[in-house]
Amino acid sequence: MSTKLFDLVSFARLHSPYYRELYRHLPKDLPSNLSPADLPLVESKSFWEANSLEDNQLLTGPMHEGIIFKSGGTSGAPKFSVFTQTEWNSFCASFGEGLRIGGVKEGERVANLFYVGELYASFIFIMKSFELATKTMQLPIAGATEISKMVSQLKELNATTVAGTPSTMVQIADYVLSKNISLPNLKKFLFGGEHLYDDQRDYLKRVFPDAMIQSIGYASVDAGLLGFADVNCLPCEHRSFGRETIYEIIDTETQQVITELGRVGKAYITYLDRRLMPIIRYPVGDQAMWTEEEGQLNRKFKLVGRSEEAARVGPVSLFYDDLFELFSRDPFQLSGLQILITHSQQKDQLTLRVVTQNKISSSHFLEVLLVERAMIADEVEKGHIHLPVIEVLSFDQLERNPRTGKMMRVIDRRS
């Protein structure tokens, strides 16, 4: 592992302007037994400021083959993630192996209900991963399909497995329950893109009592491979891809690596097999804790909420800095922002707590949010998430960490 890390860091330092600057204080000759703790952590804001299609300071070479995705569906400044063809094939093959370990069997008829288009990765990523996992029959229905047509195709094509977001799965359950439709062949729900909460799981089990419900795996278009679920994983648990990545949990106050069980920290990833756009000690955007003793190859961990860089509301990614920048313009002149995420009635709820010296109504904030971040409006219209709430507050009304006194940027109360 140390050899692969040494080679990756040496390559990134030589060819990527961003990593050359990040590692400028490291010794010229790196130790052959290099460990992640020898390297600085990537800071999300500076990382993405170095990312553009015209002058990308992250990349180690030209973009002349492979695939480009957009990360952060609601961002006003798109974040582009680039893979060579070899890296893309490897990414999908490894994730597909996780699907196989997780119980995907030959002959399953898999309805792919993830989203496609506008440089969005999930549909084609899942499709290719299943293709490389084992011999399944794929049904590329897609998540934007109108719910009546979706259910009709699930029934007509005898789908045995649904792969999609929890929001879509709940809509399927709503529809079949209201129309008294039977889908007797549907025996498995593989969810991704959002967390599946207890009320959603209970509802799906009530409508489909014989179905298995399991995470499809854990990945992101920016960070890449993150984890897979096997039969021993409890809700919110995954196993790391120990051969391809280094998954770290870091104490947010001390910046020290956490190795013990049950202690929550911020998740970082190093993707050892990705070189065109290196991912080295990159903040995943989640908080996690280890649930298995140190020393396992694919050590098991549990996700316990989002970290301060970003929030995930239903299938929508929200980056704190992007929202702050959006409302820093006239006439809002934002001076404080706190993101609160809750969950009720089987849907996520976004609340933005904003501080401004100008007299701006909450309705004006909401109007601009829904126009400028159209994916939020789309998901509200589809019934996947609640309409966001805007609270115009003063600084002393924002929640703070009781131990450090620091203002909390993202508060996730869903777990």
Would you state the pLDDT for residue 1?
58
**Contacts (Cβ under 8 Å, ≥6 apart) of 174:** none
Contact 60, 275 (CB under 8 A): yes
Q: Which residue has the tokens 């196989």?
A: 100
Would you state the pLDDT for residue 409?
80
Q: Is the pLDDT of residue 269 over 70?
A: yes
Would you state the pLDDT for residue 209?
95
Look up residue 140 and give its amino acid: P
Which CATH number applies to 88-215? 3.40.50.12780
Contact 91, 269 (CB under 8 A): no
Would you state the pLDDT for residue 72?
55
- Identical fold for domains 2-83+218-306 and 88-215, yes or no, is yes
Contact 386, 370 (CB under 8 A): no
Residue 398 region by backbone torsions, left for phi larger than 0, else alpha for psi between -120 and 50, else beta = beta
Would you state the pLDDT for residue 74?
47
- Span 219-231, pLDDT tens digits: 998 899 999 999 8
Cα–Cα dist 384/68, whole Å: 27
Would you state the pLDDT for residue 160?
97
- Span 22-45, pLDDT tens digits: 999 999 898 888 999 999 999 988
- What string of DSSP letters covers 72-83? -TT-SS-EEEEE
Which CATH number applies to 310-412? 3.30.300.30
> What is the domain partition of the chain in residue ranges?
2-83+218-306, 88-215, 310-412
- Span 105-163, pLDDT tens digits: 999 999 999 988 888 899 999 999 999 988 999 999 999 899 999 999 999 999 999 99
Q: What CATH architecture applies to the domain 2-83+218-306?
A: 3-Layer(aba) Sandwich (3.40)
Helices assigned H by DSSP within 23-84: 44-49
- Span 36-85, pLDDT tens digits: 999 999 998 899 888 877 788 999 999 899 999 987 544 456 678 999 99
Lowest model confidence (mean pLDDT) among 17-21, 53-57, 174-178, 287-291: 53-57
- Span 83-107, pLDDT tens digits: 999 999 999 999 999 999 999 999 9
